[in-house]
Chain A
Amino acid sequence: MSDEYNQKNAPLEAQSSDTISGTSGTPSKDIDYVRPAELPEQDLYHGHSFITKWIFCQDAKIIGVQYFLTAVFTGIVGLVLSWLMRLQLGYPDLVPFITAEHYYQFVTMHGMIMVVYFLTALFLGGFGNYLIPLMVGARDMVFPYVNMVSFWMFFIAVCVLMASFFVPGGPTGAGWTLYPPQAILPGTPGSNMGIILMLVSLSLFVIGFTMGGLNYIITILQARTRGMTLMRMPLTIWGIFTATALAMLAFPALLVSCIMMTLDKMLETSFFMPTIVQAGEVLDYGGGSPVLFQHLFWFFGHPEVYIVALPAFGIVSDLISVHARKNIFGYRMMVWAIVGIGGLSFFVWAHHMYVSGMNPWFGFFFATTTLIIAVPTALKVYNWIITLFRANIRMNTVMLFCLGFIVTFVNGGITGIFLGNVAVDIPLSDTYFVIAHFHMVMGIAPLMVIMGAVYHWFPLVTGRMLSEKLGKWHFWFTFLGAYSIYFPMHYLGFIGVPRRYFEMYDSPYVASATGLNEFITLAALIVGFSQLIFIYNIVSSLSIGKPAGKNPWKANSLEWLTPEVPPAHGNWGEKLPVIHRWPYDFNVPGAKEDYITQTTPPSEVISAEVEKT
């Protein structure tokens, strides 16, 4: 760097090294020594009016809550759509207004909403915004204004998406994968305005997300507080960081495929459109490649799976560690597993395309890479359960959700090995086995983490605890209900029931599954309605919940150590915190308490035998 830069910061560094060198004089011998600050303090814009404080707000915490609420709203829409689908599948013709067109529109919107507008926005926009600055010890995101614009872009994207329900022809019914040529041809519901709005909405989402994603990455890389080395960051941050990095590199493929398909639809270019004869007429298209779209889509789509999964991995590691009162086992391996999974996820996309008609030789390569990714994933699972071994496990709602996550994730991960192995995939692909697999592994498992995380961080955000009693009811309904939806669903796939079937008619070998379908529908309705417990719990606890006080879980990580709870804008009061250790020092031999917070200097816990981190 240029010299001016150092000179400019020199006075500031002098100032801060005064404060840390403390009593012992020579800084290098002081066991509490932490390198002086490199950067000047961040200036923040403090809102004055209601609008700048709560609506067009530049505080990452408020933006996080805004993201969270918007995502949950779309998630509820997605949930209702899933009920309608299940009603049709379990009890055909019971609801008269569900025609085949509507059914396919529900399928499509449910999938797209849940994957992109719910899970991605919730983990990265919601938890990311709230937790990143707090956990790394920053005052706010590095570009608060851009961060605000990011949310409003997301909001507009959601509005455009919802608008597609009300345009002539309704929303697109192309399946969430939007495969051309079918997505933009008349045989598919919503192939005019519906698909265009969907593509526009996705493009807006990508643009908005890029703004947010740059913030998350740079806050984590360049705005950590003193002492917060990369290997002292909570795994939550590692998960969100890697997921955001994946998103920055994967969303371009989605954007490009959206642009190209919009042009195919509106200008009749032929990027993805070969010569087509529909209803006896040769269309104006010719020479394009439908498989190209699938490659672009899945180059986005597979990392997208990990964009959802990696933050969940990170968060659940932290929750388990805090509530098992034990350090997370193999922290470094956990970090490398997250990064490794993230890197590998760019080389496995075509395992979604084993039967797509791509060059069959790709199957060998992608089956191998896919199964390689199983190794770091399995190691993460081992580390979670080893963390529980010889721990001191609080059996509260948060821990229950973590355990629920482990069960569903292991189950879904193992069915993933079925589908990743190309020869096993061939009979199972495009059947209900696939549906059961991905709902278990990237639907239910991350949801378990989200709910656990809400129970865990609700006291931080609002200053009040959620009701444990209601929480446990909520957990058991959700976990047992969801498990009994998706576990038996695998067996529908074994029978050979194809996915995206509006009705099975009287296929001889499917008749036996009628009872199973009815059961699944009932379970889905119960699970859906049991979320009312959750919503009631949240709403009522806002006013009648037990006051949480500071650090109610006795956690170590930085977000609990703000001077005010809930944290104020700027997070840290006068002085930024200084970090002396990783966030997992629970039950250290020789320490008085069963936890040592990240800001506790070694001189205060002389007797603790802490491993160097």
Chain B
Amino acid sequence: MSDNSLNNLPGGFKGMSHDMGSDQTAFKGVQWGKVMMWIFLLSDTFIFSCFLISYMKGRTSTVVDWPNTSEVFSLHVGGVPVPLLLIAIMTFVLITSSGTMALAVKYGYEKNRKMCGWLILATAIGGLTFVGMQVFEWSKLIHEGVRPWENPFGAKQFGSFFFMITGFHGTHVSIGVIFLFIYARKVFRGDFDNGKRGFFTTMKSDYVAIEILGLYWHFVDLVWVFIFAFFYLW
């Protein structure tokens, strides 16, 4: 179409304000679901920020000393405590799963059903591994006597904040994993190729849904980087 209105817009900052203020859509060519995910993630960012800021406030104002994190989180390999070992693996797995997710989105847009489906499954398994290792770490700490209400190594807020924030993040990962499995099934069944309508919605399925799920997944990873930095490196 020569008169394609999406291609005839001014560029630069002026173009941006022109787009935003124009009729119909503020973000040209961006699907509703994608905008929804972005705004939801913005809201979710505020949730995690509130958690992490509360954590910083709690950690700096407690009267009892904070436990030495490199000792508390260390793993004994052959009798030698190795700090950050488990957490490094966890982080590595999660970041890798972000990579597979990005590839899944790419293959999705290329309508490569098989690759897309397998990569989503790989992402889901990565997420599952992460949650599994988190369960291991929780049970290790619980075994050592750390509880939300007490902590043998120092300030009791350590346990409270650790379980609350990693738990909240773990819930996010788990929800993501569930959706990844559902979407993998949908991809393999071909829902996104033939535009089948979803269970709860009258809208046609589209590969953009994979990208939207990907946004969520990358966000969960990004949050983990902050949690990692504030809990394990500080």
A–B touch (CB < 8 A): the answer is yes
A221–B35 touching, CB < 8 Å:
yes
Give every chain A residue within 8 A of B51 (Cβ-Cβ): 256
B63–A287 touching, CB < 8 Å:
yes
B40–A210 touching, CB < 8 Å:
yes
Give every chain A residue within 8 A of B64 (Cβ-Cβ): 286-287
Minimum C-beta distance from A347 to chain B (A)? 15
B5 at interface, CB cutoff 8 A: yes
B194 at interface, CB cutoff 8 A: no
Size category of the B interface is 35 or more
B200–A284 touching, CB < 8 Å:
no
A248–B4 touching, CB < 8 Å:
no
A218–B36 touching, CB < 8 Å:
yes
A4–B109 touching, CB < 8 Å:
yes
Give every chain A residue within 8 A of B24 (Cβ-Cβ): 35, 37-39, 222-226, 228
Give every chain A residue within 8 A of B178 (Cβ-Cβ): none
Please measure, in the bound complex, the distance between the C-alpha atom of A43 and the C-alpha atom of B197, giving whole angstroms. 10
Give every chain B residue within 8 A of A226 (Cβ-Cβ): 23-24
Minimum C-beta distance from A155 to chain B (A)? 18
Please measure, in the bound complex, the distance between the C-alpha atom of A226 and the C-alpha atom of B168, giving whole angstroms. 42
Knowing A10-B1, A145-B200, say if A288 contacts B58 (CB, 8 Å): yes
Minimum C-beta distance from A62 to chain B (A)? 17
Name B43's contact: one of A142, A249, A284, A286 (CB within 8 Å). Answer: A249
Q: How many residues of A contact B (CB 8 A)?
A: 65
Name A35's contact: one of B5, B36, B40, B148 (CB within 8 Å). Answer: B5
Minimum C-beta distance from A600 to chain B (A)? 16
B46–A252 touching, CB < 8 Å:
yes
Among A1-18, those with CB < 8 Å from B are 1-2, 4-6, 10, 13-14, 17
Please measure, in the bound complex, the distance between the C-alpha atom of A513 and the C-alpha atom of B43, giving whole angstroms. 47
A287–B157 touching, CB < 8 Å:
yes
Q: Which stretch (B25-33, B119-127, B181-189) binds chain A?
A: B25-33
Please measure, in the bound complex, the distance between the C-alpha atom of A5 and the C-alpha atom of B208, giving whole angstroms. 10
B54–A1 touching, CB < 8 Å:
no
Please measure, in the bound complex, the distance between the C-alpha atom of A496 and the C-alpha atom of B106, giving whole angstroms. 67
Please measure, in the bound complex, the distance between the C-alpha atom of A218 and the C-alpha atom of B203, giving whole angstroms. 16
A229 at interface, CB cutoff 8 A: yes
Knowing A221-B27, A270-B160, A292-B57, say if A14 contacts B20 (CB, 8 Å): no
Give every chain B residue within 8 A of A248 (Cβ-Cβ): 39, 42-43, 46
Minimum C-beta distance from A368 to chain B (A)? 22
Minimum C-beta distance from A285 to chain B (A)? 9
Minimum C-beta distance from B165 to chain A (A)? 10
A38–B35 touching, CB < 8 Å:
no
Please measure, in the bound complex, the distance between the C-alpha atom of A225 and the C-alpha atom of B36, giving whole angstroms. 19
Give every chain B residue within 8 A of A461 (Cβ-Cβ): none
Minimum C-beta distance from B29 to chain A (A)? 4
A143 at interface, CB cutoff 8 A: yes
A252–B43 touching, CB < 8 Å:
yes
B10 at interface, CB cutoff 8 A: no
Name B202's contact: one of A44, A224, A231 (CB within 8 Å). Answer: A44
B44 at interface, CB cutoff 8 A: yes
Minimum C-beta distance from B7 to chain A (A)? 9
> Which of B23, B54, B203 has the most C-beta atoms of chain A within 10 angstroms of its own C-beta?
B23
> Which of A210, A222, A288 has the most C-beta atoms of chain B within 10 angstroms of its own C-beta?
A222
Give every chain B residue within 8 A of A253 (Cβ-Cβ): 46, 50
Q: Can you list 7 A-B pairs, Cβ within 8 angstroms, ordered by A?
A: A143-B201, A221-B35, A229-B22, A251-B43, A252-B47, A263-B164, A269-B164
> Could you tell me which A residues sit within 8 Å of B by CB distance?
1-2, 4-6, 10, 13-14, 17, 27, 34-39, 43-45, 142-143, 145, 210, 213-214, 217-218, 221-232, 248-249, 251-253, 255-257, 259-260, 263, 267-271, 275, 284, 286-289, 292, 296, 299, 579
> Could you tell me which B residues sit within 8 Å of A by CB distance?
1, 3-6, 20-32, 35-36, 39-40, 42-44, 46-47, 49-51, 54, 57-58, 61-64, 109, 148-149, 155-157, 159-161, 164, 168, 200-204, 208
Apart from A45-B202, A218-B35, A249-B42, what are 7 other A-B pairs with CB-CB below 8 Å? Answer: A38-B25, A221-B27, A221-B35, A229-B22, A288-B157, A289-B57, A296-B50
